[in-house]
Amino acid sequence: MQFSKFGQKFTAQTGILQLMADLGEALNSEQPMLMLGGGAPAQIPQVQQTLRQRMYDILRDESRFDRIIGAYGPPEGDLDFRKALAEMLRKQYGWALGPENVALTNGSQTAFFYLFNMFGGETADGGFRRILLPLTPEYIGYADAGIAEDLFISARPAIEYIDDVLYKYHVDFNQLRVGDDVGAICVSRPTNPTGNVLTDEEVSHLAQIAHERDIPFIIDGAYGTPFPSIIFTEAEPIWDDHIVLLLSLSKLGLPGARTGIVIANETIIKAITSMNAIASLAPGNIGAGIALDMAREGEIISLGRDVVRPFYLRKARQALAWFAESMGDTPYRIHNPEGAFFLWVWFPGLPTGSAELYKRLKARGVVIVPGHYFYPGLKDDWTHRHECIRVSYAQEDGIVEAGIRIIAEEARRAFA
């Protein structure tokens, strides 16, 4: 059997494909594993109760249930949900939105695949356009989303040292180069894996660059504003005709519904709609059905702000405290956790490298993600990329605490 060049991409276990296969292997292991490596959200009791009630409301309404389960939606996604979401955002933020500015996809990952290949790759005139990631480390899920090779170009961050442990990445605008081959700029806010939140000034500066170049500025808001609001610092939501804002129901508590939300100008939304129709006929109805009344009533924002955000903020502070208790004299730093639900742990001068540390931890029954996966498009072999790990604190407290203590033990051994 012979695959095309495009097909070969998906038979090679690289990047996120290799990581997901490895995490799946760990999940199926006979050894009990402390899973601090995945991106699944916590099951927050109040959120679960709310979602169950919304599902119950659907089950009691026979015509609504039949429509959600028994009919294809339109390729741009359920109209009622798109209307409700656009109206909510228009009232909340004054954005000039209608349902024509909103499309749904089968998860945000699908939307990234569409957008990156829409604005990156070979052009009609024989040129080649790339996606600029102005700050790395950045989300691992971007790395393999391009059909074309060498689709991404990225830059090292500037590092601000906050205290003896905490630090923060910033976009280094003095070093950032936006060449004529850049077709779009993309950031995640908060950033997966680091929990970094680009400042309003950084976002405004990047938006200005996109306007000047007449290219889209893609903001991945899967963890951020307006929902699910897993953000622990000041960050204003932003949208205009040059901004493509991607949101998701996953981190609000519905990862199984696979509902991505694209907010963009009408031209981009029409293209997303066409790609949906070709790839899957239509996005699923379940997520939109559950979240419809939540959007109409504004609960989709208030639930994130009042329940989800404080839940993860407490867990972030507790995880920092467990590291402080466990690390002793072992050199380590942690990116200031400003959002999402990961700690990005840096071991300066780590002798073994993070890939070897990952193997040692896996042998001890702890699964994290080694840092070298999170630098798509970075050309130089920066030492820093081999000294960091991503640790999720979304699991139950007992699992997170036990995992952190083993991480500390193995880090101590690595430096011995």
Residue 385 region by backbone torsions, left for phi larger than 0, else alpha for psi between -120 and 50, else beta: alpha
pLDDT at position 413 is 96
Considering the domain architecture, whether residues 222 and 198 belong to the same structural domain is answered as yes
Considering the domain architecture, whether residues 65 and 20 belong to the same structural domain is answered as no
Final residue in a domain of this structure, among 276, 297, 318:
297
What CATH number does the domain containing 362 carry?
3.90.1150.10
Side chain identity at 363, as an amino acid letter? A
pLDDT at position 38 is 85
What confidence category does residue 18 fall into, taking pLDDT thresholds of 50, 70 and 90? Answer: low
d(CA 300, CA 293): 9
Considering the domain architecture, whether residues 175 and 263 belong to the same structural domain is answered as yes
Q: Quick check: 27 pLDDT over 80?
A: no
Name the residue range of residue 24's domain. Answer: 5-43+303-415
Q: Quick check: 108 pLDDT over 60?
A: yes
d(CA 44, CA 286): 20
Task: State how far Cα 125 lies from the chain centre.
Answer: 33
d(CA 11, CA 16): 12
Pairing of strands 366-367, 34-35: parallel
Side chain identity at 258, as an amino acid letter? R
Calculate mean pLDDT across residues 345-350: 98
Tokens 């907010």 belong to residue: 263
What are the two backbone dihedrals, phi and then psi, of residue 292, each rounded to the nearest 5 degrees?
-60, -55
Considering the domain architecture, whether residues 286 and 346 belong to the same structural domain is answered as no
Residue 340 region by backbone torsions, left for phi larger than 0, else alpha for psi between -120 and 50, else beta: left
Question: With helix as H, strand as E and coil as C, how does 84-140 read?
Answer: HHHHHHHHHHCCCCCHHHEEEECCHHHHHHHHHHHHCEECCCCCEEEEEECCCCCCH
Q: Quick check: 11 pLDDT over 80?
A: no
List pLDDT tens digits, range 277-323. Answer: 999 999 999 999 999 999 999 999 999 999 999 999 999 999 999 99
Calculate mean pLDDT across residues 334-355: 97
Considering the domain architecture, whether residues 232 and 283 belong to the same structural domain is answered as yes
pLDDT at position 416 is 87
> What secondary structure letter does DSSP report for 40?
P
What CATH number does the domain containing 143 carry?
3.40.640.10
Collapsing DSSP states into helix, strand and coil, what is residue 186?
strand
What confidence category does residue 169 fall into, taking pLDDT thresholds of 50, 70 and 90? Answer: very high
d(CA 383, CA 81): 46
Non-local CB neighbours of 355 within 8 Å, separated by 6+ positions:
370, 372, 386
Considering the domain architecture, whether residues 65 and 25 belong to the same structural domain is answered as no
| Cβ atoms < 10 Å from Cβ of 128 | 13
- Domain total for the chain? 2
Q: Are 230 and 223 in contact (CB under 8 A)?
A: yes
The tokens for 145 are 């989303």
Considering the domain architecture, whether residues 251 and 238 belong to the same structural domain is answered as yes
Considering the domain architecture, whether residues 291 and 366 belong to the same structural domain is answered as no
Q: Are 62 and 56 in contact (CB under 8 A)?
A: no
Considering the domain architecture, whether residues 252 and 307 belong to the same structural domain is answered as no
pTM, rounded to two decimals: 0.95
Considering the domain architecture, whether residues 333 and 404 belong to the same structural domain is answered as yes
Q: Quick check: 23 pLDDT over 90?
A: no
Q: Are 316 and 80 in contact (CB under 8 A)?
A: no
Q: Quick check: 21 pLDDT over 80?
A: no
Calculate mean pLDDT across residues 372-400: 95
**Diameter over CA atoms, the chain:** 66
Mean pLDDT, rounded, of the chain: 94
d(CA 23, CA 358): 12
Non-local CB neighbours of 285 within 8 Å, separated by 6+ positions:
67, 68, 69, 71, 73, 78
Final residue in a domain of this structure, among 297, 322, 342:
297
pLDDT at position 155 is 93
Q: Quick check: 170 pLDDT over 70?
A: yes
Side chain identity at 38, as an amino acid letter? G
Final residue in a domain of this structure, among 249, 268, 297:
297
d(CA 164, CA 149): 40
Least confident segment among 36-40, 91-95, 240-244, 354-358: 36-40
Considering the domain architecture, whether residues 136 and 274 belong to the same structural domain is answered as yes
**Percent of the chain, pLDDT > 70?**
95
The tokens for 8 are 């070969």
Collapsing DSSP states into helix, strand and coil, what is residue 64?
helix
**Closest by CA position to 48, among listed 397, 316, 311:** 311
Considering the domain architecture, whether residues 291 and 353 belong to the same structural domain is answered as no
d(CA 242, CA 264): 8
d(CA 16, CA 140): 6
pLDDT at position 158 is 97
**Which of the pair, 17 or 399, is modelled with greater confidence?**
399
What confidence category does residue 32 fall into, taking pLDDT thresholds of 50, 70 and 90? Answer: confident
List pLDDT tens digits, range 215-239. Answer: 999 999 999 999 999 999 999 999 9
Q: Are 334 and 388 in contact (CB under 8 A)?
A: no
Looking at the DSSP bridge assignments, the partners of residue 391 are 343
